[in-house]
Structure 1
Amino acid sequence: MNIIDLLTQRDFLIAVLAAISAAAVVFTFGSGFIVRTEMRDRVKRVALEREKMRAQEMARLRGSAPADSRNIRRSAETKTYMKNVVERFNLRKAFQDDATVEKLAMAGYRGQGHLTTYLFARFVSPLVIFLIAALYTLVLSPGDRPLYLNLVYAIGAGLLGAYLPNVMLKNTTQKRQASIRKAWPDCLDLLLLCVEAGMSMEHAFKRVAREIGQQSAELAEELTLTTAELAFLEDRGRAYDNLGRRTGLDGVRSVMTALIQADRYGTSVGQALRVMAEEGREQRMMEAEKKAASLPPKLTVPLILCFLPVLFIVIIAPAMIKVFAGPVASTVGGG
């Protein structure tokens, strides 16, 4: 049989097309699994590198020895009993929502270990505070109150204890945001100088993180994590967006939005940073003027309570001494 006749046969062509189709299907599904596996490994490497750079930066700022990857991995893991309690009682479904991870990131807590610890604290804190309050009101200091009233007090204390982890998390977030907000205008100026000097954004973030650490360790930590994400993530805009979400500050988000637009449309990064740096300085000046304007009303109460009584005593005391000394002197002279 001629090879041309074989290639032109209908059955042969159908078999070849079927084989090509089967190979395409296998390649499509196989490549999907391969890409998924590579992406999972890449995410793991990014997370480990972020934790490593974070630990090294915090160790450098505290002046201690840098931690190795084994210590980082050990610190990221949570206690076994906490994990068992969270899984047994399905606390993720009960307490975790879409904003929980973002709130923990704003406070500087990242990873599944911190999330598990937070969920465990929300579950245990009301029970512990209820037991302590019940022990105090029923055993240590029952007083003359009836039993049901002591139980009501203990239950109320337990209900208030349910909000204790949220209050502590919010307090930590506010302190962290205050530190970042205070150092952010200087950070923008340093970024502008580095970019205008010819540095790339990765090197600029790394250099500024090293310089700004003495003023704000929290901001240096965030910039270090952003440097790691810029080096490992394929999308630079995602790294900028992550920095804005982790800080939770409008000023940082606006700067990151400007950097994303500059990277997407090819505009000048230096010009965007210059504009945002000027806005940051103006915003800091407005905040200083706002504090200065609010100072006179705040001084009214201390002035009335502290300064005016002393002033009245100094002014009226000589006259009062003369008034009371006059009758005494006349009495002595008459005697």
Structure 2
Amino acid sequence: MNITAYIPEPEKLSAMMAAFAAFSAVVTVSWPYMFRDNLAARLHKVEGEQERIRQRERARLNADKRPVSLRAEPRKLFQEIVDRFNLAKQAEDGEIVNKLRMAGYRGHAPVTTFLAVRLISPLAIFAACLLYLLLIVRPVAPLLLVVAIAATVGSLGYFAPAIFIKNRITKRQKSIQRSWPEALDLLLITVEAGMGIESAFRKVGEEIGMQSPEIAEEIMLTTAELSYLQDRRQAYENLGKRTGVEGVRAVVTSLIQAEKYGTALGQALRVMAQENRDMRMSEAEKKAAALPPKLTVPMILFFLPVLFAVIMTPAAIQIAGIP
């Protein structure tokens, strides 16, 4: 005989719930004894690992006794050459320093390297050219004439560092001109969002770095100068001098005026961004307009002879009577 058949349905439900509650209470009480908590051991292990990492880094830093400096030192050989021949006077007028800054080289080391290389280059090119003429070409001309030719070629080495710096400046200015309108758009957004000019420059420098490292470098340097220079106008003027780009100088003038008279900067930046964008477009149009004259000589040299050969060959074959 089934006894549960005589138990009412509500009483069955109550019994099942009581049995489940008793089972849950037993599991809860016995759980810490059945499964150990290893959290404390894991935390202790992590702390020990962190301490070992600290000790390893301290040992590595103590082993490295080289002085840390943000300013690069010139090579000893170049410094000795500059001091020996008293070449530092050539950089006293500041023209070499300004050109090196426009090319992206700052500090005392690039100036020393430039002066030393400008002195070494003619001698190195002269020696290389003389060895090439005497050992490989072996001309029948007199030795004095060969030496004179080598000296003439070697004298061009004096201008080689200046040509390199000039090309570097041109490439850097083109990169700045290409990305400067986008930098102004970012600067306009940050200024209109309520940021100060220093925070806006810092934000733009962080965001524009992927597109143009040159602009990011100049903007971050300007941010640093705004922080420690007493005259903020000097920081803006330094930005224009370092870049040498007309669009940057125009923006610098607007920033100086806004700093002096307290005028609104947002509208000026919007106008400057549009003007720089128009300048970039006009430069592209000039390059496109100059393309047909540049293609004239290659077409005359390479296309017309082939065209004449294709046209004249059948006629020449017919005249010669070749079947």
Q: Give TM-score, length-normalised by structure 2.
A: 0.72
Q: Quick one: distance in 1 between partners of 2:114 and 2:267?
A: 42
Show the counterpart of 1:143: 139
CA deviation vs aligned residue, 1:34-67 (integer Å, no higher than 9, x gap): xxxxxxxxxxxxxxxxxxxxxxxxxxxxxxxxxx
1:250 equivalent to 2:224? Answer: no
Residues 182-201 of structure 1: pairs in structure 2 closer than 5 A: 182-201=178-197
1:184 deviation in Å?
Answer: 0.8
Counterpart-to-counterpart distance in 2, 1:133 and 1:311: 42
Change (3 A) 1:71 1:137: farther
- Among 256, 263, 268, the alignment partner of 1:267 is 263
Query: Which deviates the most, 137-146 or 77-86?
Result: 137-146
Provide the C-alpha distance between the structure 1 equivalents of 2:116 and 2:286, rounded to a whole number of angstroms. Answer: 41
| Aligned equivalents of 1:309, 1:161: Cα separation in 2 | 39
Residue equivalent to 1:292: 288
Bigger drift between 203-212 and 134-143 goes to 134-143
Counterpart of 2:162 (choices 152, 159, 166) is 166
Structure 1 residue aligned with 2:116, among 97, 113, 120? 120
Name the counterpart of 1:93.
89
Q: 1:107 to 1:309 in 2, by over 3 A?
A: same
Q: 1:234 aligned to 230, 233, 243, which one? A: 230
Q: Which moved more, 1:137-146 or 1:150-159?
A: 137-146
Residue matched to 1:219: 215
Residues of 2 paired with 1:268 and 1:238: CA distance? 20
Preserved CA contact (<8 Å) 1:194 1:204? yes
**Structure 2: runs of 5+ lacking an equivalent:** 1-65
8 A Cα contact 2:101 2:242, kept in partner: yes
User: 1:133, CA displacement in angstroms?
Assistant: 2.3
Deviation at 1:229, TM superposition (A): 1.0
Distance 1:320 1:221, change over 3 A: same
For 1:226 and 1:74, the matched residues in 2 are separated by 17
Distance of 1:153 and 1:295 partners within structure 2: 38
SS in 2 for 1:234: coil
SS in 2 for 1:76: coil
Q: TM-score, normalised by structure 1?
A: 0.69
2:40 paired residue number: none
What amino acid is aligned across from residue 238 of structure 2 in structure 1?
A: N
Coordinate RMSD, CA, aligned: 2.6
Higher Cα Rg, which structure: 2
Distance 1:294 1:135, change over 3 A: closer
Q: Report Cα offsets for 1:237-265 as digits up to 9, x if no partner.
A: 11111111001111111110111111011
Per the TM alignment, residue 289 of structure 1 is displaced from its structure 2 partner at its CA by 2.2
2:152 maps to 1:156: yes
Residues in 1 aligned to 2:229 and 2:109: alpha-carbon distance in whole angstroms = 23
1:136 to partner: Cα distance? 2.8
Residue matched to 2:104: 108
- One-letter amino acid matched to 2:228: F
Instruction: Among all aligned residue pairs of Structure 1 and Structure 2, give the percentage whose two residues are the same amino acid.
Output: 54
Inter-partner Cα distance in structure 2 for 1:102 and 1:192: 29
Deviations 1:259-287 (A, max 9, x none): 11110111111122112112112212222
1:51 equivalent in structure 2: none
* Count of residue pairs brought into register by the alignment: 258
Determine which structure has greater relative contact order: mean sequence separation of CA pairs < 8 Å that are 6+ residues apart, divided by chain length: 1
Structure 1 Cα separation of the partners of residues 243 and 86 of structure 2 = 29
User: Is the 1:142–1:150 Cα contact (8 Å) retained in structure 2?
Assistant: no
* Contact 2:71-2:107 at 8 Å conserved across structures: no
